[in-house]
Structure 1
């Protein structure tokens, strides 16, 4: 009997390894090994103007070059990235929550409206950038054409408006994503607390504040986590729309990494160091939000 149980155990483990193995191998090849290589290159002097065999180990010199201010564009790009992340995530959360609450009610044509809501998510970032670049055009763009009836003309991609413009594009494309996450959370909420609140005569504002928000905190944290990380590392939409310009008005850290490594200088070592900084930013942010998510789940279990 013991032998049979042991054989069954090892057979089950064998099938487990069979199914999980490809995923682990893919993770190692696509994520872990490139990350290790990135760390290694960040400690070297390698650039595109030299052969790989001529690289030298420079320790923390690349990181010092960035953090000490010798790279004058590094800290401004960090600030722009943080502004982009905070503003876009906050607005997307507010609009997404409002849309989710709207769809959570009975309404005519809900399926049609939800299908329309998904359209921005189906468009690739490169196409989104091209489409909005045409719409933002000061001479023949559709936005200024409409504003022209009010006697208004805006240079959307000027140095003073460029960051706002790319944030608007991000909001347009990713607010539906936040709305869908929060809508799924609203659909999964138990109805008993709402029925009890109706008996107690609670107002809509009280129901939202004391029932909906506390129960939705895990889903809110997930939505903010996913959008914050994605906003920190966004590249393609902003590059296609402004290429980081005018000047450095929209040069996010991800674009600065690209410019360091491939566009101007070819400093792969310094570019890798900047990529490590971005990796650390996203790791710290995700760790903090995941801990908050864990606390929310524990609080929910306590209730």
Structure 2
């Protein structure tokens, strides 16, 4: 795919395309996108149209069929917000992908809620374990959650309740920018396409910094035997970083909780390898094991 280049155009839920973006779509020799997006754009004589392959793991082979042709792909809103744009950049490289964004569902959700970008946090659960949300749970936080499907709100509500934040308010913002746009406070009808706006409330254990009490961790009373924070499943124990397997954090540790807590620090925390290149198996003075500590 040495000569393959692709332009990714964001499209609104109502099918709106600005004039410049519409010109790109009409001039394309090949138009790619989801079936829903392709149906929103009027037909163009002689233009080849194709929906994304399933599974998406065959994307490289699929794109190779159109190598050397003028390709435009459609995506929802901002293609780089949990969209196909990110996938294409990883596959082809940034120089081969041009992105023309529209208003994203995140921007629309903030507008509907009256939340600024500075006072709200975005969490994507698209194709991810819901436990990723635990990192952001603190009373007073405002979270915008990109849902995987119509079952996500129930899963999120259960997680909040189990973590001590059952008093949180969950707004379901459905089909943002489209003719069937809706809003409701969960529990309520949930459309497949939606964003959750959560105002976190409750007294669950939560902190970005060291200082959680020993009771927040499960242990057998021995300083070197801390296993995991109470009620936190494995996928949520440590900061969700892309390449931290086989690493450990070097921190002074007088007790298991004081050694584990710093591993939960937010970016720009950086993991350091042990001299052997492997993670320490348990927390010891000066060495806190990544695998068994923190969130």
The one of the two structures with greater contact order (alpha-carbon pairs below 8 A, sep at least 6) is: 1
Which structure would you say has the larger Rg?
Answer: 1
Give the number of the structure whose residues are more often strand, by fraction: 2
TM bracket (short chain)? under 0.3
Q: TM-score, normalised by structure 2?
A: 0.23
